[in-house]
């Protein structure tokens, strides 16, 4: 895969989801990625919750987009599906370059359309599911889940840079409810 970051040393990670751009899990992951100072961060997520739409795309009407202020990231809310978000995010229509890795962030296991769309277009992708349990999980657990993924993202991006990453699939990571105790 060619390096799309000629003016930037850090690899570019694009984050999307199916819970919407304002979802606490997406915001926690973006904060962790930005604060690590390891990545250039892009966000291209649905403007509203889009769970259970699988790999559907918008085709009967135009998809609109609005820029969103997320400090430290370039971010867009897409009035469409997760697959629309991934497709737009890697198309060079919103961003002037293609990300090195697409991360599809879910609260709980479900569709992996964002990662699958990136994979279909030759972009390495990872979907991450966190097993949120009402009454047991807290908003802070999103940050802990995101921090747990940083070494995985770094390892994947190192393999991409070294051209040793297999491009014939995408990864799905399922994080347990009690991340701190691995259960």
Residues recorded for the chain: 183
Residues 66-95 have a mean pLDDT of: 96
Using pLDDT thresholds of 50, 70 and 90, give the confidence band for residue 104.
confident
The torsion angles phi and psi of 151, rounded to 5 degrees, stand at -60, -35
- Shortest CA distance to 89 belongs to which of 169, 16, 170? 16
Sheet holding 73-79, edge to edge: 64-68, 73-79, 40-46, 12-17, 101-106, 125-130, 171-175
Q: How confident is the model at residue 129, as a pLDDT?
A: 84
CATH number of this structure's domain 12-52+62-175, picked from the four choices 3.30.750.24, 3.40.50.2300, 3.40.1210.10, 1.10.3720.10: 3.40.1210.10
* CA dist., res. 94 & res. 4, Å (int): 14
Q: What is the pLDDT of residue 35?
A: 97
The tokens describing 121, both together, are 């277009």
Question: Quick one: 68 exposed, middle or buried, by C-beta within 10 A (0-12, 13-18, 19+)?
Answer: middle
What mean pLDDT is predicted for residues 9-32? Answer: 94
pLDDT value for 8 = 62
Output the six-digit token pair for 132. 């949120």
The label of the residue with tokens 């904060």 reads 31
Q: Judge whether 12 and 44 are in contact, CB under 8 Å.
A: no
DSSP 77: E
Higher-confidence residue of 105 and 147: namely 147
Residue 73: predicted pLDDT: 98
pTM flag (> 0.85):
no
For tokens 């930037």, name the residue: 8
Give dist(CA 137, CA 158) in Å, integer: 32
Between 131 and 69, name the one with better pLDDT: 69
Where are any strands of DSSP class E within 22-161? 40-46, 64-68, 73-79, 101-106, 125-130
Predicted confidence at residue 156, as pLDDT, reads 94
For 20, the token pair is 């919407």
């Amino acid at each position: 895969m060619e390096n799309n970051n000629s003016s930037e040393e850090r690899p570019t990670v694009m984050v999307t989801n199916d819970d919407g751009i304002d979802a606490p899990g997406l915001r926690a992951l973006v904060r962790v990625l930005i604060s690590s100072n390891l990545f250039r961060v892009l966000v291209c997520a649905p403007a509203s919750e889009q769970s259970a739409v699988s790999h559907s795309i918008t085709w009967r009407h135009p998809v609109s987009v609005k820029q969103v202020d997320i400090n430290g990231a370039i971010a867009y809310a897409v009035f469409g599906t997760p697959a629309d978000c991934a497709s737009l995010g890697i198309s060079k229509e919103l961003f002037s370059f293609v990300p090195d890795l697409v991360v599809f962030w879910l609260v709980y296991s479900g569709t992996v359309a964002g990662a699958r769309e990136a994979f279909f277009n030759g972009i390495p992708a990872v979907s991450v599911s966190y097993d949120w349990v009402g009454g047991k999980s807290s908003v802070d657990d999103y940050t802990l889940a995101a921090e747990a993924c940083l070494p995985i993202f770094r390892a994947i991006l190192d393999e991409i840079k070294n051209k040793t990453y297999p491009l014939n699939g995408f990864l799905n990571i399922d994080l347990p409810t009690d991340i701190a105790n691995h259960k």
